[in-house]
Chain A
Amino acid sequence: SQTIHQWPATLVQPVGSPLSLECTVEGTSNPNLYWYRQAAGRGLQLLFYSVGIGQISSEVPQNLSASRPQDRQFILSSKKLLLSDSGFYLCAWAPNQGDPSGNTIYFGEGSWLTVV
Chain B
Amino acid sequence: RKEVEQDPGPFNVPEGATVAFNCTYSNSASQSFFWYRQDCRKEPKLLMSVYSSGNEDGRFTAQLNRASQYISLLIRDSKLSDSATYLCVVNLNTGGFKTIFGAGTRLFVKA
Chain A residues with CB under 8 Å of chain B are 32, 34, 36, 42-44, 46, 49, 51, 88, 90, 99-110, 112
Instruction: Give the contact-size bracket for chain B.
Output: 20 to 34
> In the complex, which residue of chain A has the Cβ closest to the Cβ of B91?
A101
CB proximity of B86 to chain A, nearest CB, Å: 12
Known: A42-B103, A44-B101. Is A106-B93 also a contact (CB below 8 A)? no
Whether A104 and B49, one on each chain, are in contact in the complex, defined by CB atoms closer than 8 angstroms, is yes
Known: A43-B104, A44-B87. Is A105-B43 also a contact (CB below 8 A)? no
B59 within 8 A of A: no
Set of chain B residues within 8 Å of A106, measured between Cβ atoms: 46
What 1/0 flags go to B37-50 for Cβ under 8 Å of A?
A: 00001111110010
Bound complex: CA of A55 vs CA of B62, how far in Å? Answer: 35
Set of chain A residues within 8 Å of B109, measured between Cβ atoms: none
Set of chain A residues within 8 Å of B101, measured between Cβ atoms: 36, 43-44
Whether B103 and A43, one on each chain, are in contact in the complex, defined by CB atoms closer than 8 angstroms, is yes
Known: A42-B103, A43-B104. Is A104-B92 also a contact (CB below 8 A)? no
Set of chain A residues within 8 Å of B98, measured between Cβ atoms: 46, 101
Bound complex: CA of A90 vs CA of B101, how far in Å? Answer: 13
Bound complex: CA of A99 vs CA of B31, how far in Å? Answer: 11
Set of chain A residues within 8 Å of B94, measured between Cβ atoms: 101
Known: A103-B91, A104-B34. Is A90-B97 also a contact (CB below 8 A)? no
Whether B97 and A100, one on each chain, are in contact in the complex, defined by CB atoms closer than 8 angstroms, is yes
Set of chain A residues within 8 Å of B89, measured between Cβ atoms: 105
Partner of B43, one of A34, A100, A108: A108
Set of chain A residues within 8 Å of B103, measured between Cβ atoms: 42-43
Bound complex: CA of A107 vs CA of B42, how far in Å? Answer: 10
CB proximity of B41 to chain A, nearest CB, Å: 8
B72 within 8 A of A: no
Partner of B102, one of A34, A36, A43, A110: A43
Whether A101 and B49, one on each chain, are in contact in the complex, defined by CB atoms closer than 8 angstroms, is no
